[in-house]
């Protein structure tokens, strides 16, 4: 049973050496007296929030040095002593980064009912990032047809979906990303109206003014820092900023200040943070909306897949240098 162990708390950018791959022989049986499930891991998800868990925090959410890391993933039930699960069930939820796991309290695992789509989708478009994009856009941004929408980190797991949901709503949508390949995807695959590579722009304010001569109604915030400051200068009256994340700040010892917050007052802007777990109870409603988009080809979805647990740490830290093109998935086993 291969496992990924957290070496020690991280400062600055995480490195592959912050993780240790180990292998141990195990009995593929639930321990005696267990009330849980024995799982075979199929896919693991690399998500930016995992960086927060690498900090030494007093909150119980930090990874413990010397223990396994965990995150969202998809698994198959090999054995169950829990009345809610049976052998052969497919589930998604929080999993330890190992090939086989015992989960003693599986109540938070979500059973996968629809298997006509790739199972890896439950780490992304049909899982936590999909829920983030869907409710973050529809609930927090209050979108209307014709709104001017800007999405940063626009080709990633969440961004690619927000951009397409905004297009389906009839909005004008601009996305930014950090490489030529990603810019091509935004234009040619996800249907963004206008795009720019933020790494090639000297002046982000000027880039936004070029793309939004009339200003921005909705900003879906994924990166923070200088980008947020430039966006604040370009928001229209009564604009909405959905604060999904601020990945540019996660590896800094101290976050950069934001200078233009007074624009919130001047322009009557609503800026609101949210978290995917706020919406997990609406999973059925979410699937009802998202599955037809996938089945009818109304939404495209791009994954970046590496294979094997040993490839996991590099894929995870790659999120912070933009190595991933689309949703970063680690495929552990396909059956
Ligand atoms: P992505 O798939 O978008 O991967 C991360 C991307 O962020 C990288 O590929 C890179 O793309 C970009 N990036 C990395 N560092 C920087 C930087 N310094 N400045 C600007 N861009 C950077 O990740 P997700 O879609 O999973 O997550 C996107 C955001 O949404 C994150 O902030 C994350 O924390 C947040 N999130 C929030 C959730 C919630 O519940 N609120 C749930 C899920 C995600 P590029 O090449 O374009 O730079």
User: Residue 56's pLDDT is what?
Assistant: 84
The answer to pTM > 0.90 is yes
User: Residue 26's pLDDT is what?
Assistant: 87
d(CA 293, CA 230): 33
Q: Which of 158, 162, 190, 305 to mutate to test the pocket of ligand 1 (most atoms within 8 A of CB)?
A: 158
Q: Is the CB of 129 under 6 A from ligand 1?
A: yes
Residue 185, SS3 per DSSP = helix
In the chain, which ranges are E strands?
A: 2-6, 19-23, 37-45, 70-80, 90-96, 100-103, 110-111, 148-151, 172-177, 194-197, 216-221, 235-243, 270-273, 303-307, 327-331
Q: How many A from CA of 175 to the centre of ligand 1?
A: 13
Which ipTM did the prediction report?
0.99
Average pLDDT per consecutive 10 residues, the chain (335 residues; last block may be shorter): 96 97 92 96 98 82 94 98 97 98 94 97 98 98 98 98 98 98 98 98 98 98 98 98 98 94 98 97 97 98 98 98 98 88
Sequence ranges of the chain with CATH classification 3.90.180.10: 2-125+301-331
Fold classification of 2-125+301-331 is: Quinone Oxidoreductase; Chain A, domain 1 (3.90.180)
Give the DSSP letter string of 59-116: STTSPPTTSB-EEEEEEEEEEE-STT--TT-EEEEEEESBSEEEES-GGGPEEP---S
Percent of the chain residues past pLDDT 90, beyond the cut: 96
User: Residue 334's pLDDT is what?
Assistant: 83
CATH code for the part of the protein at 128-277: 3.40.50.720
User: Residue 24's pLDDT is what?
Assistant: 87
Summarised one tens digit per residue, pLDDT across range 160-191 is 999 999 999 999 999 999 999 999 999 999 99
Q: How many A from CA of 80 to the centre of ligand 1?
A: 36
Q: How many A from CA of 222 to the centre of ligand 1?
A: 6
Sequence ranges of the chain with CATH classification 3.40.50.720: 128-277
Q: Which atom of ligand 1 is nearest to the CA of 49?
A: 34
Q: Is the CB of 75 under 6 A from ligand 1?
A: no
Summarised one tens digit per residue, pLDDT across range 245-266 is 999 999 999 999 999 999 999 9
């Amino acid at each position: 049973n291969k496992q990924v162990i957290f070496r020690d708390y991280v400062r600055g950018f995480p490195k592959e050496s912050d993780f240790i791959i180990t292998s141990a022989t195990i009995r593929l049986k639930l321990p005696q007296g267990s009330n849980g499930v024995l799982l075979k891991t199929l896919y693991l998800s690399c998500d930016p929030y995992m960086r927060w868990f690498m900090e030494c925090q007093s909150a119980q959410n930090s990874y413990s040095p010397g223990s396994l890391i965990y995150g969202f993933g998809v698994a198959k039930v090999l054995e169950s002593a829990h009345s809610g699960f049976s052998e052969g069930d497919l589930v998604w939820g929080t999993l330890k980064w190992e090939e086989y796991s015992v989960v003693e309290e599986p109540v938070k695992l979500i059973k996968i009912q629809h298997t006509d789509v790739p199972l890896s989708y439950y780490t992304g478009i049909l899982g936590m990032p999909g829920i983030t994009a869907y409710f973050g856009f529809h609930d927090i941004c209050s979108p209307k047809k014709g709104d001017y929408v800007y999405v940063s980190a626009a080709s990633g797991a969440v961004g690619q979906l927000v951009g397409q949901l905004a297009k389906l709503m009839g909005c004008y949508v601009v996305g930014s990303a950090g490489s030529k390949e990603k810019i091509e995807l935004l234009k040619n695959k996800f249907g963004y109206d206008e795009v720019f590579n933020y790494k090639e722009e000297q002046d982000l304010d000027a880039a936004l003014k070029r793309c939004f001569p009339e200003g921005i109604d909705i900003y879906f915030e994924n990166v923070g820092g200088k980008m947020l400051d430039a966006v604040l200068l370009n928001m229209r009256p009564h604009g909405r900023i959905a604060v999904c994340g601020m990945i540019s700040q996660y590896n800094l010892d101290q976050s950069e200040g934001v200078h233009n917050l007074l624009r919130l007052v001047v322009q009557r802007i609503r800026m609101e943070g949210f978290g995917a777990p706020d919406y997990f109870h609406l999973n059925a409603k979410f699937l009802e909306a998202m599955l037809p988009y996938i089945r009818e080809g109304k939404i495209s979805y791009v994954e970046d897949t590496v294979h094997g647990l040993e490839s996991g740490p590099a894929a995870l830290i790659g999120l912070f240098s933009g190595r991933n093109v689309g949703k970063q998935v680690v495929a552990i086993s396909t059956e």
